[in-house]
C-alpha cells in the first residue's frame, strides 16, 4: 500500500512479522508464586482465656525435583492462555479451595539463577484468607500442604545493614532463613544469607509479602480480609498486633478502628468468659 511505513530494512510491519523468528531471542519461563496469609487462634488449655492469634503462611512440600522434599510457596507456571493474575487465582483455588479473596501483585522476581532448571521469572502475589473458609489440599506437584506459623524480625544491626531472621514452624518442622537489607531498603533487594528447608528464593518473596502487608495495614482495611464477618474489637486488635509484631494501646487502637467498624446487636457465645459485643466491617467507611 502506497505510503505504508517501512523500517530501516525496507520492510512493512506485515512483512516484518512474517519473517520474525521468536527463537532468535532467549525467552524466560514465567511462574506465579503465592504468599497466602491467614490468622488463626493459638490453642489454649484454659478455655476461659482469650486465645492468642498466630500469623500463618501456606507452604507446600515439593514432590519433585528441583528441591525435592523442601517446602515452597504454592505456585506454578503461567499457561499460554492466561494472565499472571488468572494463573495466581487458579493456583489459589487449587491449593485452598477458595476464590474471591483479596489478591494483589507483589513484585516480579527475575534474579539470574533463581531457578536451577532454566531462566524463570516469578510474578508473585499476596492473598489474604479467612482460615475458617480454607480447605487445604496439596496440588499435583506437592506431597503435602500446611499452614506454617511465621515470625520475621530484625536480629541485629551492623551499621546500615539490618539482619532479619525468618522462622516458620508447623508441628515438628522448623524452617529458617536469614536475610540482609540495607537500612530503608525493601526486601525486594535483600540478600539471602542462609536458608534452611525452603526452596528457590522463596524466603525473599515471603519477607516481601510480609513487608507489604505490614505497610498497607497502616493505611488500609486489609485486616478485615483475615477475619470472619462478625468479630470482637479485641480480635481485630489481635490481628493487627500479630502482623505488626508489637502490642498496641487498646484505647488508641479503638479510636483508630471506630470509623472502620459497625456495632451489631450480637454477642459472643459459649466462649467461657464474659460475652463480648460483635462488630462487622463498616461498608460505608
Residue 2 pLDDT class (50, 70, 90 cuts)? low
> What pLDDT shows up at residue 42?
78
| Share above pLDDT 70 across residues of the chain, in percent, rounded to a whole number | 92
pLDDT at 245 over 60: yes
pLDDT at 268 over 90: no
Q: Grid coordinates representing 50? A: 482469650
pLDDT at 142 over 70: no
pLDDT one-digit tens code per residue, 151-172 = 999 999 999 999 999 999 999 9
Question: Concatenated DSSP letters for 111-144?
Answer: -TTSSSSS-EEEEEEEEE--GGG------TTEEE
Cα(181)–Cα(187) distance, rounded to whole angstroms?
7
pTM: 0.90
Q: What are phi and psi of 78, to 5 degrees?
A: -75, 130
Q: What's the whole-number mean pLDDT along residues 170-195?
A: 95
Amino acid at each position: 500500500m502506497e505510503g505504508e511505513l517501512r523500517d530501516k530494512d525496507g520492510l512493512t510491519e506485515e512483512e516484518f512479522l512474517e519473517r520474525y523468528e521468536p527463537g532468535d531471542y532467549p525467552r524466560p519461563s514465567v511462574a506465579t508464586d503465592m504468599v497466602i496469609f491467614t490468622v488463626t487462634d493459638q490453642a489454649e488449655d484454659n478455655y476461659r482465656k482469650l486465645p492468642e492469634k498466630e500469623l500463618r503462611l501456606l507452604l507446600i512440600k515439593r514432590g519433585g525435583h528441583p528441591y525435592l522434599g523442601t517446602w515452597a510457596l504454592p505456585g506454578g507456571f503461567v499457561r499460554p492462555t492466561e494472565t499472571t493474575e488468572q494463573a495466581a487465582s487458579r493456583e489459589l483455588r487449587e491449593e485452598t479451595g477458595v476464590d474471591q479473596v483479596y489478591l494483589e501483585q507483589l513484585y516480579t522476581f527475575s534474579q539470574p539463577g533463581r531457578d536451577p532448571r532454566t531462566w524463570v521469572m516469578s510474578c508473585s502475589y499476596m492473598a489474604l484468607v479467612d482460615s475458617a473458609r480454607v480447605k487445604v489440599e496439596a496440588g499435583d506437584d506437592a506431597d503435602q500442604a500446611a499452614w506454617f506459623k511465621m515470625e520475621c524480625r530484625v536480629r541485629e544491626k551492623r551499621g546500615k545493614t539490618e539482619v532479619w531472621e525468618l522462622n516458620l514452624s508447623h508441628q515438628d518442622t522448623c524452617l529458617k532463613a536469614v536475610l540482609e537489607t540495607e537500612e530503608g531498603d525493601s526486601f525486594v533487594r535483600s540478600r539471602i544469607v542462609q536458608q534452611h528447608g525452603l526452596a528457590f528464593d522463596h524466603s525473599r518473596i515471603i519477607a516481601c509479602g510480609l513487608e507489604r502487608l505490614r505497610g498497607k495495614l497502616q493505611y488500609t482495611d486489609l485486616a478485615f480480609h483475615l477475619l470472619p464477618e462478625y468479630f470482637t474489637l479485641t480480635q481485630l486488635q489481635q490481628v493487627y498486633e500479630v502482623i505488626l509484631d508489637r502490642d498496641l494501646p487498646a484505647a488508641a487502637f479503638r479510636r483508630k478502628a471506630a470509623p472502620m467498624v459497625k456495632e451489631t446487636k450480637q454477642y459472643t457465645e459459649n466462649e467461657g468468659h464474659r460475652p463480648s459485643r460483635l462488630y462487622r466491617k463498616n461498608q460505608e467507611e
